[in-house]
Structure 1
Amino acid sequence: MKTEVEERRINVSGLSIRYFKAGDDGLPLVLLHGDSASALDWSWVLPNLGATYRVYAPDFPGFGDSAKPSLEYTPEFLKQFLVDFLDALGIERAVLVGNSLGGQVALRFALSRPEQVAALVLVDSSGLGYAVTPLLSQLTLPGYGDVAIIGCQTPPGAKMRSWLRATLFFAHPAQAPSVWIAEQERMSQMPGFLQATLTSLRAQLNVFGQHQVFLDSLGELPMPTLVVWGTEDVVLPKEQAHDAVSRLKQGHLALIPDCGHLPHVERPEIFSAELSQFLAGVGA
């Protein structure tokens, strides 16, 4: 059974934020997208999840159709946004599901406010190992990313960037949803979006890899935690998933076969099944 997905807006600490809402009952689920993306990434799983849970999927500030002020979009800033977003909606306790950058934001929140997290789901999450594809880390070089922004904001550049991201994020780029490609192309031409992406990347990465890794802190997490990873992810290697699960008190691993960095987009049926199975054991 599927439920209707509503697009809404809310003011969070003076910023206009877009989010999607599905479902009216059950445990609250908050879905957090990755870098240079939007909440649209969850479109392929939102209707099904909304049949069982109350699901919220915001665009981070700087991304999607949320406000894009000129500032440093660090993971810590986005963690504070999550604190304020939950407060604005009156959500006291929720399951956090984060992909890539969203996973690191969810992890930071869970480490600082464990009492508010019923369960944690890290989907091809950053912050679980130093290795990352050089195709992203090289964008942090002085001047390189800034020049790339200029070209990618033009219509031809936006189209090329969208397809390049598809080859990086999908095990089968030719099968990337046309809606996903169009969203990437649209956002590339939005004022402030690529600048937010670059500041976010530089806050997470340098040319050698990820700045900060939280492996030594994972044992502090008291809540059930599911680590989901695409077996063909070339952005962040699946070995990081195995390492993370081995350090968790209540760790569970779900490897999505024949899948890249976005299991909820590329393999939504398998992703939803793994998530639902995990959540069946999580009480409100």
Structure 2
Amino acid sequence: MQRITVAVSGRPTVAWRIAGRRPPVVCVHGAGVSSREFRPFIEVLGRRHDAWTVDLPGFGASAGPGHPLGVRALADALVEWLAAVGLDDVVLLGGSFGCQVAVDAAVRHPGRIAGMVLVGPTVDPAARGFVRQMLRWIRNAPHESVSMAALNLADYRDAGGRRVLGAFTESLRDRIEDKLPHVLMPTLVVRGAQDRMVPQEWAEEVTRLLPAGRLAVVEDSGHMVPYRQAHALAGLVVDFLAHECAAAGAGGRAGPREQRSAR
């Protein structure tokens, strides 16, 4: 796995890559955490495709400004980073809050983005509030890998309390549901079957709002599908790249497809 550092807005931005065939898949991490949550996944996907995971400004190993950035600023920084490393026609794979950043980038900068994978997209409007989200997080915790706790704590320490709180606050403020109808590229929505942060009804609504969306459910996983079920998710992504994204690249348009399950 190769570490790549480039300057974005004058500050170093760090990403990890396993080179492979096109299209490149760029993973965008969730609120307060870092690219570390995706490294097990890109080790699997990297056997088939060009796989990247990037630290957004102020998270992980990437430097950021002295203040927390909102969704729009994070999306702009992501697109600036894509240009800096020379990536185009990418597939953005967001995890949790990373879905909100990826969707914002896709709506406002569609020229560089060929497809989307939204894994555990937040925030369900039915639970748009700190207390409701915390209760869902508590209910979801037993369905996550124990090793995720130490990983998350390390990420929170690196980012600092102010930036972590800012990311969670921004996730609640952002109305992803208003943007989804404007995501015109093929999009795969993925939910863990035991995910208590993203209920089935909300995952289905996300898929319905997308002009070219398909839903897949991964068995035996909570919210953190890329970490818990890297092989199952990689299989879904490879299939998506071979069919929906390939059809769109050939001039066709990928329409909605039925829900699938993966084990």
TM-score (structure 1 length as normaliser): 0.78
2:70 aligned partner? 74
- Give ranges in structure 1 of 5+ residues lacking alignment: 140-164, 206-210
2:255 aligned partner? none
1:144 aligned partner? none
1:201 aligns with 2:185: no
Measured in 2, the distance between the counterparts of 1:39 and 1:67 equals 14
1:259 aligned partner? 221
Measured in 2, the distance between the counterparts of 1:273 and 1:24 equals 15
Measured in 1, the distance between the counterparts of 2:6 and 2:199 equals 36
Mapping 1:151-170, distance limit 5 Å: 170=141
Displacement of 1:96 after TM fit?
A: 0.5
User: 102-111 or 219-228: which moved more?
Assistant: 219-228
User: 59-68 or 103-112: which moved more?
Assistant: 59-68
Mapping 1:1-284, distance limit 5 Å: 5-127=1-123, 129-132=125-128, 134-135=130-131, 137=133, 170-173=141-144, 175-176=145-146, 178=147, 180-190=148-158, 192-205=159-172, 211-281=173-243, 282-283=245-246
Measured in 2, the distance between the counterparts of 1:273 and 1:101 equals 22
Displacement of 1:119 after TM fit?
A: 0.7
Residue deviations 1:224-270 (CA, integer Å, cap 9, x gap): 11000112222232321101111222111011123211111111121
Displacement of 1:193 after TM fit?
A: 2.3
Question: Identity of counterpart residues, as a percentage?
Answer: 28
State whether residues 191 and 198 of structure 2, in contact with CA within 8 Å, keep that contact through their aligned partners in structure 1.
Answer: no
SS in structure 1 of the partner of residue 125 of structure 2: coil
Residue deviations 1:185-224 (CA, integer Å, cap 9, x gap): 333433x52221111122232xxxxx33233443332211
Residue deviations 1:13-33 (CA, integer Å, cap 9, x gap): 111122101114321111001
SS in structure 2 of the partner of residue 119 of structure 1: strand
Query: Structure 1 residues 38, 233: closer, same or farther in 2, change over 3 A?
Result: same
Q: How many residues align?
A: 245
Q: Kindly provide the amino acid, as one letter, of the partner of residue 172 in structure 1.
A: H
Report the structure number with the largest CA radius of gyration: 1
Displacement of 1:45 after TM fit?
A: 1.3
1:143 aligned partner? none
Measured in 2, the distance between the counterparts of 1:214 and 1:199 equals 17
- Give ranges in structure 2 of 5+ residues lacking alignment: 250-263
Measured in 2, the distance between the counterparts of 1:216 and 1:64 equals 29
1:159 aligned partner? none
1:152 aligned partner? none
Measured in 2, the distance between the counterparts of 1:132 and 1:267 equals 27
SS in structure 2 of the partner of residue 189 of structure 1: helix
Measured in 2, the distance between the counterparts of 1:73 and 1:136 equals 23
State whether residues 131 and 237 of structure 1, in contact with CA within 8 Å, keep that contact through their aligned partners in structure 2.
Answer: no
Displacement of 1:274 after TM fit?
A: 1.3
Measured in 1, the distance between the counterparts of 2:140 and 2:15 equals 23
TM-score (structure 2 length as normaliser): 0.84
State whether residues 170 and 259 of structure 1, in contact with CA within 8 Å, keep that contact through their aligned partners in structure 2.
Answer: no
